[in-house]
Chains A and B, each alone.
Chain A
Amino acid sequence: MSSASFSLSGLLSSFSEAWPTIGYLLGGAGTTCILILAAMLIGLVMGTVMASGQVYGPPWAGRLVDLYVWFFRGVPILVLMFLFHFGLAGLLETAAADLARSDLAARLFGARLNLRPRVSPFVSAVAVLGLCSAAYQSQIFRGAMQSIPVGQFRAALALGMSRRQAVAAVILPQALRLSIPAWSNEYSILLKDSAIAYVVGVSEIMSRFKAVASATHRYLLLYVLAGLLYYLLTAIGVRLLDRLRRRVRTPGLGESDATGY
């Protein structure tokens, strides 16, 4: 009657069977962390620039950012991942190899180089997640920048700052502070989206748990553990970002509690 795979002794034997692979499994968490930290960093830098252009730049910059955001919002990450890794990456590799064999390389390095550069799955995944996150982060920062009174920007110009200085010294420090809660949301979404990197062959959490599950046939246990690991990483990241938010909070701002009425 009772199926062995749902009994306690079955679970325990699953554990003992999977235990020797624990180092391999947790190593996947390391890969996932590096993957999303790199992607978030790309998103942060690009998102900041795009939002600045959209709010304080010329009209064409705003339209360009709109187009970018529209594209990355509209296409599933899975499609982007395939498109980039199996489509664009090949073109990039050929272009880089051609460049290495070109006259330009001969002039720069004194020789035509016979290179066969490869875009690794990890690089593809960082690029796709980073470009995608840039689209979402730019809209987080845009909202935050628009909420800073334009008078402060004007006051910065009035003191002799250039537009760029005013954005960098006055608007962004405030906008980034305001962005932390939404940014922590973006982190938790990106963390879970990163499981898609498995499809192009990045050896991250999902791919390693799948490998061990297939080898041991302990699917239930391993996917529950994979889920828990993602949960843990989400909780840690969100908590750290909340600590950051409190640390950089401007005294007197955002302290009002809504308990009274």
Chain B
Amino acid sequence: MNAPAQPVLEVRNLSKSLGGKLILDDVSLTLNKGELKVLIGPSGGGKSTLLQCVHYLHRPDRGDVFLEGRSAAEMGRRNICAFRQEIGMIFQDFNLFDHLDAENNVAIALRKVKGLAKAAALARARAELDRVGLADKADLFPAQLSGGQKQRVSIARALAMDPKVMLLDEPTSALDPDLIGEVLNVVADLARGGMTMLMATHQIGFARRLTREIIFMENGRIIETGRPDDLLAPASESRAAAFCAKLTELLGH
């Protein structure tokens, strides 16, 4: 009944050491079109490094990343820029450009990277801000926005580049609890709209509702993968379930 799965992103055997310590140990995964997969696991387990290696912000020591079949390892410097442009990245601490207002935060890469004229870039930027519910904040600067609004601007900024995949690195971890919902709603909208996404998060409840596959990482390795209901069932005795039970105990959700 399903169309044959089309892999958009394939991660093969990625390994990465930083400062002599093995951070990623032979990690492989596949994202099919329209899939949302969720990375969970303890801090320092390699989730962020994995996402940054997939994006080639860190060059992996071994392994390769394929975007629609094209190998990142074989790309030159210039092509890596084009490769990155097709993969949206959302950071834990937003990383908005502090000197630009919301619409110019979204427009600047459209102008510099895609070569759009200023008016066209700003029009697109406003459309993307509207999509994340911030049409009325277009001319505010990052310092004038709440954390949740900043993260939504950063999502608009990534979406404007028409990415084939979005990588989200704990997009709500730096937010006050009352601001988490607005960001998760935007992510949920994207998932329903068919965006292919790989998301690291501690929002287990959110992950259960939206994903069909949870990937549990620890010590740089993928330890377990599975459907949330199987993996996180209290009776499953999985490491992931134990980890989530601990989170729930601490945070109470």
Interface residues of A (CB under 8 A from B): 148-149, 151-152, 154-162, 165, 169-170, 173-174, 177, 250-253
Contact = CB atoms under 8 A, between A and B. Distances in A.
A119 B186 CA distance: 65
A250 B140 CA distance: 10
Given A158-B55, A160-B85, A250 B141 contact: yes
B23 interface: no
B143 interface: yes
B109 A151 contact: no
A156 B109 contact: yes
Interface stretch (B9-17, B88-96, B128-136): B88-96
Contacts of A162: 77-78, 81
Q: Lowest 6 CB-CB distances: which A-B pairs, in order?
A: A160-B85, A252-B143, A155-B95, A159-B109, A158-B89, A151-B95
Contacts of B81: 157, 160-162
B99 A159 contact: no
Nearest to A173: B99
B161 A251 contact: no
A152 B157 CA distance: 13
B57 interface: yes
Contacts of A151: 91, 93, 95
A251 B87 CA distance: 31
A134 B88 CA distance: 38
Contact of A159 (B98, B113, B140, B142): B113
27 contacts: A152-B96, A154-B57, A154-B91, A155-B97, A156-B109, A157-B84, A158-B91, A159-B109, A159-B113, A159-B157, A159-B161, A160-B84, A160-B85, A160-B109, A160-B161, A161-B81, A161-B109, A161-B113, A170-B108, A177-B99, A250-B98, A250-B99, A251-B141, A252-B141, A252-B142, A252-B144, A253-B98
Nearest to B55: A158
A152 B85 CA distance: 15
Contacts of B161: 159-160
A158 B113 contact: no
B87 to A, nearest CB: 8
A148 B100 CA distance: 14
A149 B95 contact: yes
Interface centre among A154, A155, A173, A250 (most CB of B within 10 A): A155
Secondary structure at the A interface, as helix, strand, loop or mixed, is: helix
A159 B85 CA distance: 5
A153 to B, nearest CB: 9
B174 to A, nearest CB: 11
A99 to B, nearest CB: 37
Interface string B157-180: 110010000000000000000000
Interface of B: 55, 57, 77-78, 81-82, 84-89, 91, 93, 95-99, 108-109, 112-113, 140-144, 154, 157-158, 161
B150 to A, nearest CB: 12
Given A169-B112, A174-B98, A177-B99, A160 B144 contact: no
Nearest to A255: B143
Nearest to B167: A158
A190 to B, nearest CB: 27
Contacts of B84: 157-160
A154 B95 contact: yes
A165 B143 contact: no
Nearest to B84: A160
Nearest to B101: A251
Given A152-B97, A159-B113, A159-B157, A253 B141 contact: yes
Given A151-B93, A161-B109, A162-B81, A174 B142 contact: no
A151 B142 CA distance: 14
Contact of A165 (B86, B87, B112, B154): B112
B184 to A, nearest CB: 21
Contacts of B108: 169-170
A226 B84 CA distance: 59
B76 to A, nearest CB: 12
Contacts of B95: 149, 151-152, 154-155
Residue of B85, B113, B144, B154 with most chain A CB atoms under a 10 A cut-off: B113
A250 B112 contact: no
Contacts of A160: 81-82, 84-86, 109, 113, 161
